[in-house]
Amino acid sequence: MYGKGLKPLSIATVAMLVVALSLVFFYAPLDADQGFIQKIFYIHVPLATVALIGFIVGGLFAIAHLRTGNSSWDAYSYVSIHISVIFGVAVLITGAIWAKASWGHWWVWNEPTLVSFLIVFLLYCTYYPFRYAIEDREQQARYASVFAVTAGAFVPLNFLAVRMAQSLVHPRVFATSNGGLPGSMMLTFLCCLAAVALLWTTLVKFELAAKSASGQVKRLRRAIGAPGSGSTSRIAPEVS
Amino acid sequence: MTPSRVAFAAILGKDLRSELRTLQSLPAMALFAITTFVIFRFGLDRTHLSGSLAAGVLWATLLFAAVLGINRLFVAEREEGGFDAIRLAPIDRSVLFTAKVTALLVYLLALELIAVPVFALFFLDSPAALGPLVSVLLLADFGLAATGTLISSMAVNSRARDLLVPLVLLPLVVPLMIAATGATEPLMAVGGPGYHRFGTWLMVLGLYDLIFALVGYAVFDFLLED
């Protein structure tokens, strides 16, 4: 059931990525100040936005799990956080490249957005050992949901605290007066954002479908008494 | 249904009494804090601290000492069957959360009653900063107690209790530490306490306390289900 609509969604994602990347390289003007390296902005910022929204979406799924007790919400929550953590790694790498190119350092500590993203990322990295340490499946799902809700509330609060603590070096692309971005750059950025959001959705659906399929295979093997049906992931939730 | 006030007083009284009789957490926390100050004294090789360095040493020490207490907060409930008793008792389960937060708050205040004067004795020129510091300590302790209770109750039912509390708690309290050190730093400035952005930081602390108290209160019930 998770595989339904996966093919059109994947095609739409690939098409959108192609459109967005061609806009980035052939349509959007070169940045007057930073030149070609500024193009990484079209990947870095959408990735960060989608990862953070993905963390919060994971928290919302966790709320649904706690309210209904339906374990498939837990699977949604787990996969949302999982894909967002992977996106988070990409955000930190692209961010470091951009920082090296435009500020001259791989990492800048007095930069609120960088630091708050790192803290959020570290917190969500502890989601895995936390889940792994609880053996009972039902309890594991419930505790993981409590974690996801707490961490979801933490994300905006953390950005507030870190931003207040430090200077404003990071480009405030949308906050400057009269819009900041010229129209052509804005269009490209929005296309990239849509493409990355689609990519996130597709990956989430793929992982859910894969988990569901392997769960079904395991159940079938058990039903016919086949050997070698062990070795399942103890971290990941089972999807029915 | 027993009224929540009675249940709250009973659980809190039980916790404080058992701590007074066994002295499991508090002496260890205080001793740890004092030893850490000594280590900072030689690690930094300074006899006087001021500004951000003083704030950092104070809060890092208090946080790590607090982790010791947070680790042990639910151990009795787990090992002596306290969780089952709470589940059986005709009380609102959130009472356990509020009572434990209060107990942890009392531990933290007792810890600071010992550790902060020692810190001032070791590193500060004048005790003038300690008066306004009390408000920062109170607000930060409340936030630390709320998150600490939540994480402790989650970790105690896992296989890796002692490992999980610091692992999950530390990133979670980073905003709290940013605000607490931000408020403490001008207080310990050279030449007497200053109040640069003091009120703003207190507000961030208050916001953090409010959010995590509400989140903890809302989700705690699910941790007790079985």
pLDDT, one tens digit per residue, over A178-237 is 456 777 888 888 889 999 999 999 999 999 998 888 888 888 888 887 765 455 555 567
Handedness of CA A144, A146, A149, A152 (dihedral sign): negative
Tokens describing residue A10: 């994947």
Q: What is the end-to-end Cα distance of chain A in Å, rounded?
A: 10
Handedness of CA B41, B45, B48, B53 (dihedral sign): negative
Whether the CB of A156 is below 8 Å from some CB of chain B: the reply is no
Number of other CB atoms surrounding residue B12 within 10 Å? 18
Give the lowest-confidence range in A54-58, A210-214, B95-99, B113-117.
A210-214
Q: How many CB pairs under 8 A join A and B?
A: 92
Q: Mapping DSSP to helix (H, G, I), strand (E, B) and coil, where does residue A239 land? A: coil
Confidence class of residue B137 from pLDDT cuts 50, 70 and 90?
very high
Residue B51 Cα to chain centre, angstroms: 22
Distance from CA of A56 to the nearest CA of B (A): 14
Domain count, chain B: 1
CA distance B138 to B97: 19
Q: Could you give phi then psi for residue A35, rounded to 5 degrees? A: 75, -145
Q: Mapping DSSP to helix (H, G, I), strand (E, B) and coil, where does residue A34 land? A: coil
% of chain A exceeding 70 in pLDDT: 87
Q: Do B171 and A126 touch (CB under 8 A)?
A: yes
Q: Which chain A residue is nearest to residue B172, measuring alpha carbons?
A: A123
pLDDT over 90 (residue A145): yes
Confidence class of residue A150 from pLDDT cuts 50, 70 and 90?
very high
Overall residue count recorded for chain A in this entry? 240
Burial state string for B161-198 with b = 16 or more CB within 10 A and e = fewer than 16 = beebbbbbbbbbbbbbbbbbbbbbbbbbbeeebeeebb
CA distance B133 to B187: 7
CA distance B152 to B169: 9
Residues of B in contact with A135 (CB under 8 A): 159
Stated pTM of the model: 0.85
Confidence class of residue A112 from pLDDT cuts 50, 70 and 90?
confident
- pLDDT on residue A230: 54
Distance from CA of A43 to the nearest CA of B (A): 27
- pLDDT on residue B67: 94
pLDDT over 60 (residue A104): yes
Question: Do the Cβ atoms of A63 and A144 come closer than 8 Å?
Answer: no
Give the lowest-confidence range in A174-183, B113-122, B205-214.
A174-183
Please name the residues between 13 and 72 in chain A that touch chain B, using a CB distance below 8 Å. Answer: 66
- pLDDT on residue A177: 45
Count Cα atoms within 13 angstroms, Cβ side, for A47.
Answer: 19
Which residues are paired to A31 by β-bridges? A35
Which residue segment(s) compose the domain that A71 sits in?
6-169+179-224
- pLDDT on residue A234: 54
- pLDDT on residue A228: 57
Identify which of B35, B37, B40, B112 has the alpha carbon closest to the alpha carbon of residue B69: B112
Average pLDDT over residues B144-173: 89
Which residue segment(s) compose the domain that B51 sits in?
4-224
- pLDDT on residue A211: 86
Confidence class of residue A169 from pLDDT cuts 50, 70 and 90?
very low
Q: What is the DSSP string of A185-203?
A: HHHHHHHHHHHHHHHHHHH
pLDDT higher at B149 or A219:
B149
Q: What is the ipTM of this complex?
A: 0.84
- pLDDT on residue A127: 92
Residues in B whose CB is inside 8 Å of some CB of A read: 150, 154-155, 157-160, 163-164, 167-168, 171-172, 174-176, 178-179, 182, 200-201, 204, 207-208, 211-212, 215-216, 218-219, 222-223, 225-226
Give the lowest-confidence range in A25-34, A54-63, B6-15.
A25-34
Written as one letter, the residue type at B148 is G
Domain count, chain A: 1
Whether the CB of A176 is below 8 Å from some CB of chain B: the reply is no
In-domain check, residue A174: no
CA distance B104 to B213: 13
In-domain check, residue A102: yes
Q: Which chain B residue is nearest to residue A63, measuring alpha carbons?
A: B219
Residues of B in contact with A147 (CB under 8 A): 154, 168
In-domain check, residue A231: no
Q: Could you give phi then psi for residue A45, rounded to 5 degrees? A: -65, -45
Best mutation target, B159, B178, B205, B224, to test chain A (most A CBs within 10 A): B178
Identify which of B60, B66, B57 has the alpha carbon closest to the alpha carbon of residue B142: B66
Angle separating helix axes B174-187 and B51-72, nearest 10 degrees: 140
In-domain check, residue A234: no
Residue A68 Cα to chain centre, angstroms: 25
Question: Do the Cβ atoms of B33 and B115 come closer than 8 Å?
Answer: yes
Confidence class of residue A168 from pLDDT cuts 50, 70 and 90?
very low
Overall residue count recorded for chain B in this entry? 226
Q: Which chain B residue is nearest to residue A118, measuring alpha carbons?
A: B171
